[in-house]
């Protein structure tokens, strides 16, 4: 299998699929395409018809979108979802809500693992999305007793791992004890650690500004 991903520092959807692939225990080759460069789109298009990463290639099968990739891998490695039917349904709801939701948080606090700051202003919709996430985490963790949302690491945790990265980068003040414990568990996971280590090693391209009007890359 080949997994096509974006920068480890920036690509939250790649991080989700990559964590699921690691936890699946199915060996894979990783192909990294740096985002926001002149040739990003054409490079991604060599593999992914959606022009987005992540994309998984398994022989003749191409799967794009982090959730589709996760479900594909869960067919090979059923331990990626909880065993219990009701828990599995709940874990899927968590992952799907993450996949389709939280637009304000994703826009205002995009993943940037190298970034360390204290954000001064959060929009009301970002605040309410953060509170929703904390409420979801509290409910799952109080039922499972942790360390992960449904006990063992599942696809739901892979989907929330980039949220933990954002909370850390933007200095989001979390008071919930269970959320702090969960964030520690995510940070201490060996695969998350490896992703973060590799993100820290990436060298961003310097951005050169100029005074011609309306030029981008």
Ligand X SMILES: N[C@@H](CCC(=O)N[C@@H](CS)C(=O)NCC(=O)O)C(=O)O
Residue 70 binds ligand X (CB under 6 A)? no
Residue 162 binds ligand X (CB under 6 A)? no
To ligand X, the closest distance from the beta carbon of 81 in angstroms equals 17
Could you tell me whether strands 61-64 and 29-32 are parallel, antiparallel, or unpaired per DSSP bridges? unpaired
Q: How many residues bind ligand X (CB under 6 A)?
A: 15
Among 1, 4, 8, 11, binds ligand X (CB under 6 A): 11
Could you tell me which stretch among 12-20, 89-97, 130-138, 179-187 binds ligand X (CB under 6 A)?
A: 12-20
| Residue (63 or 183) nearer to ligand X, CB | 63
Sign, Cα dihedral of 186, 187, 189, 191: positive
- Tell me phi and psi for residue 30, to 5 degrees: -105, 130
State the CB neighbour count (10 A cutoff) for residue 78: 12
Cα 129 to chain centroid, rounded: 16
Nearest 10 degrees: Cα torsion 110, 181, 69, 193: 80
Residue 169 binds ligand X (CB under 6 A)? no
CA distances from 16 to 27, 38, 72 (A): 16, 25, 14
Site for ligand X in 42-61 (CB under 6 A): 52-54
To ligand X, the closest distance from the beta carbon of 34 in angstroms equals 10
| Residue (6 or 82) nearer to ligand X, CB | 6
Cis peptide before 54 (omega within 30 of 0): yes
Residue 82 binds ligand X (CB under 6 A)? no
Residues that bind ligand X (CB under 6 A): 6, 11-14, 35, 40-41, 52-54, 65-67, 99
């Amino acid at each position: 299998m080949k997994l096509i991903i974006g920068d480890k520092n920036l690509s939250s959807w790649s991080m989700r699929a990559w964590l699921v692939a690691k936890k699946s225990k199915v060996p894979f080759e990783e192909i990294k395409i740096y985002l926001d460069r002149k040739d990003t789109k054409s490079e991604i298009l060599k593999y992914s018809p959606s022009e987005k990463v992540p994309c998984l290639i398994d022989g003749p099968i191409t799967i794009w979108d982090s959730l589709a990739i996760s479900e594909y891998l869960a067919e090979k490695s059923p331990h990626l979802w909880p065993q219990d039917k009701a828990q599995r349904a709940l874990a899927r709801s968590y992952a799907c809500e993450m996949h389709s939701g939280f637009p304000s948080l994703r826009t205002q606090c995009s993943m940037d693992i190298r970034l360390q700051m204290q954000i001064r202003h959060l929009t009301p919709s970002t605040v309410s999305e953060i509170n929703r996430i904390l409420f979801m985490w509290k409910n799952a963790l109080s039922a499972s007793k942790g360390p992960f949302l449904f006990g063992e690491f599942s696809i739901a945790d892979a989907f929330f791992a980039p949220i933990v990265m954002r909370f850390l980068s933007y200095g989001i003040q979390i008071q919930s004890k269970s959320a702090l414990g969960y964030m520690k568990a995510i940070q201490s996971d060996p695969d998350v650690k490896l992703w973060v280590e590799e993100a820290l090693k990436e060298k961003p391209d310097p951005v050169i500004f100029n005074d011609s009007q309306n030029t981008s890359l």
